[in-house]
Amino acid sequence: MELLNVKNLKKIYATRFGGNQVEALSNISFSIEEGEFVAIMGESGSGKTTLLNILASLDKPTSGEVLLRGKSILSMEESQLAAFRREHLGFVFQDFNLLDTFSLKDNILLPLVLSNMDFLEMENRLQPIAEKLGISKLLDKFPYEVSGGEKQRAAVARAIITEPEILLADEPTGALDSKSSGELLNIFTKINKSGQTILMVTHSAIAASHASRVLFIKDGEIFHQIYKGDLSNREMFEKISNTLTLLASGGKRDE
């Protein structure tokens, strides 16, 4: 079933006095099925983050449409957007974005508290997730007391505790060492297997090799996409690397 549908997205940034216009996205269209694990790859400045911000409803496109389960998220009022983000989307950021005034537990519970959930139910939801992510013992610690990998796992827990329809991850491994990255990606694979749809933006080929499908963006357009199918992570990694080399050498669009 189609979960997310992006149609002809275009985003133009104008400088303050309307002088130079920069086209961040020129024409992006793709769709994501329920239960998919999609990675979007591209170099710095290719428009990845702009795309993610639009999907996250943090930014508005110049033209185009974003449908979640057939419903447009762009026509929503500012006041509804916050609740929408909270209930339907989960976020994982490169720099964790944990609040240092909260313990990990409170950081994870934050979106539930914002939705006025009963405390007992919060606890019930927290336990299995914390166990799955291996942070049960760290719950009372504060962000400055744990490692980057642990912080990111807490951030993932915060993102999925609301049982969002789609988990949006922006360079989730960007600030992690390779071991923590590996662990995090395994967690992504695990929660994807249990049914969570994931859309991840990254420029790490290793990270992308865990995804079931990889979209390549170049100069604000979808340049190419590859499916993992039955390939192993390693084979997928090679395939991605080849595509990247092609991209970098200025290869032509093929789809």
Partner 1 sequence: MNKNLYSKLARNNIKNNRNTYFPYMFSSIIAIAMFNIMLTITNRASKAVFYGDSSMIAILMFGVNVIGLFSLLFIFYTNSFLLKRRTKELGLYSVLGMEKKHIVKVLFYEILYSGLTSIGTGIIVGLVFTKLMFVILLNLLFLDTSISLGISWFSIGVTILVFILIYLVVLVYNTIKIYRLNPIDLITGGKKGEREPKANWFLGLIGMISLGIGYYLALTINNPISALNMFFVAVLFVMIGTYLLFTSGSIIIIKGLRRNKKYYYQKNHFISVSNMIYRMKQNASGLSNIAILSTAVLITISTTISLYVGIEDVMRTRYPRDVNIGLEYGPSNLEDIENIIEEYGEINEIEVSNIENLSYSMIVGTLNKNEILGTGGEISFSDGFAVYLIPLEDYNRNQGLSLELEDGQVLFFSDTTRYNYEDIIVYGERYEIREKLEEIDFLPVAIFNEIVIIVKDIDVIENLVSKINEIETIKDGYSTYYSYRFDIEGKHEDKINFISSLKGKLNESVEGLMGVEDRYTTRQDFISLYGSLFFIGIFLGSLFMIATVLIIYYKQISEGYDDRERFTILQKVGMSKEEVKRTIKSQILMVFFLPLVTAIIHTVVAFPLVSKILAVLNLTNTRLFLSMTAIVVLIFTLGYGIVYKWTARVYYRIVN
The binding site for partner 1 (CB under 8 A) comprises 56, 58, 78-79, 81-83, 85-87, 89, 91, 93, 97-102, 106, 109-111, 113-116, 119, 122, 142-145, 158
Q: Rounded to the nearest whole angstrom, what is the least distance from the CB of residue 140 to partner 1 in the complex?
A: 11
The string of DSSP letters for 24-66 reads EEEEEEEEEETT-EEEEE--TTSSHHHHHHHHTTSS--SEEEE
Reference 149, options 166, 127, 133; nearest CA is 133
How far apart, in whole angstroms, are the C-alpha atoms of residue 98 and residue 128? 20
| Residue 8 main-chain phi, psi, to 5 deg | 45, 45
Name the residue nearer to partner 1 (CB basis): 78 or 255: 78
C-beta closer to partner 1: residue 30 or 93: 93
CB–CB of 167/198 below 8 Å?
yes
Least distance CB 119 / partner 1 (angstroms): 4
Nearer to partner 1, 73 or 222 (CB): 73
Report the nearest approach of partner 1 to the CB of residue 168 (Å).
10
Least Å distance, CB 192 to partner 1, is 22
* Closest CB to partner 1 among residues 26, 97: 97
Query: Toward partner 1, which CB reaches closer, 29 or 127?
Result: 127
Nearer to partner 1, 67 or 110 (CB): 110
Q: What is the rounded distance in angstroms from the CA atom of residue 228 to the CA atom of residue 212?
A: 5
CA angle at 136 for the pair 172 and 164, rounded to the nearest 5°: 50
Task: Find the shortest distance in angstroms from Cβ 73 to partner 1.
Answer: 14
| Token representation of residue 123 | 């606890």
- How far apart are CB 172 and partner 1 at their closest, in Å? 14
Q: DSSP label at 144?
A: G
Choice between 168 and 214, CB closer to partner 1: 168
Which residues make beta-bridge pairs with 166? 89, 197
Residue 110 beta carbon to partner 1: minimum distance, rounded to whole angstroms: 6
Sheet holding 2-14, edge to edge: 71-72, 63-68, 2-14, 21-33, 221-227, 213-218, 37-41, 197-202, 166-170, 89-92
